Amino acid sequence: MKLAGRVVVITGSGGGLGEACARRFTAEGAKVVVTDVDPAGVERVSSAIGGVGLAADITVEDNVRAVADLARRAYGEIDVWFSNAGVAGPRQPGDVQANPLWDSSWQLHVMSHVYAVREVLPAMLERGDGYLLQTASVVALSTQAEKAAYSVTKHAALALSEWLAAAYRPRGIKVSCFCPGAMLTPMLLANGLPADHPVLRSAPTPDAQADRLVRAIDEERFLIVDSEQGPDAMLAKLTDYDRWIDGIAPPFG
């Protein structure tokens, strides 16, 4: 799908990857609707791209509907919904974590995507055209031993994307899932890693990732990755699951 002339909603677009995509997609000719929980970020990005925006918590279904209504009033029916918002959460090795973190992770990483699909899919099916794009994580192809809720809900996000593709691609709906590794966003930089940390030296910028997503959307590719880390993990699991688990298990004690 070419983005020129398309109406695109990007969640989590008040900063980081979402902001980079809002700018890049606009440069491609898309009409972008910005939404984020950060009102200042929404105002800044929507003003920068000459678009519209709404500060909203998209874990609430009525708020997803409000964002969609804004997009329709401003530009018409939605062509692309990019469910990008997410949060990394705390590192808690050996702990399955408390219910509030599980609940918030599930709502953000899974149910916000479900709410978006409920809102935009009927019109897309009627037209026989539309694009559902979700950000999961490379963790969805592997796991992260010190982040139970994050790992499980990112796996669920990928599973939802797989199901959507299987169910609706035959009816003209494009579906992609972006499974990136670390990137140079405020979320990563807030971890306090030293300046010479290997992750900071190798992580791509949000702008580079936005370029990658434009190419992948153009190709209508389902799985979008930025390294071989995820595919290698999938192959390792298929080859010898027990060995793979032993290799990623954190040291005991």
pLDDT tens figures, 27-85: 999 999 999 999 999 999 999 999 999 999 999 999 999 999 999 999 999 999 999 99
If we measure between CA atoms, which residue out of 143, 5, 148, 153 comes closest to residue 85? 153
When divided into structural domains, the chain yields a total of: 1
Note every long-range contact of 104-108, with CB atoms under 8 Å and residues 24 or more positions apart, other chains counting.
104/59, 105/149, 105/150, 105/152, 105/153, 106/149, 106/153, 106/156, 107/59, 108/58, 108/59, 108/153
pLDDT at 203: 73
| In-domain check, residue 241 | no
Distance CA 173, CA 124 (A): 7
Distance CA 221, CA 208 (A): 17
For the chain, which residues score pLDDT lower than 70?
A: 90-97, 185-202, 250-253
Mean pLDDT estimate for the chain? 91
| In-domain check, residue 203 | yes
Give me the domain span that covers residue 78: 7-228
| In-domain check, residue 2 | no
Q: Can you give the CATH number for the domain in which 100 is found?
A: 3.40.50.720
If we measure between CA atoms, which residue out of 147, 145, 22, 2 comes closest to residue 85? 22
| In-domain check, residue 197 | yes
| In-domain check, residue 212 | yes
Partnered with residue 130 across adjacent β-strands are 173
**At 194, phi and psi to the nearest 5?**
-65, 155
Beta strands, E only, 50-128? 52-55, 80-83
**At 174, phi and psi to the nearest 5?**
-85, 140
| In-domain check, residue 236 | no
| In-domain check, residue 1 | no
| In-domain check, residue 242 | no
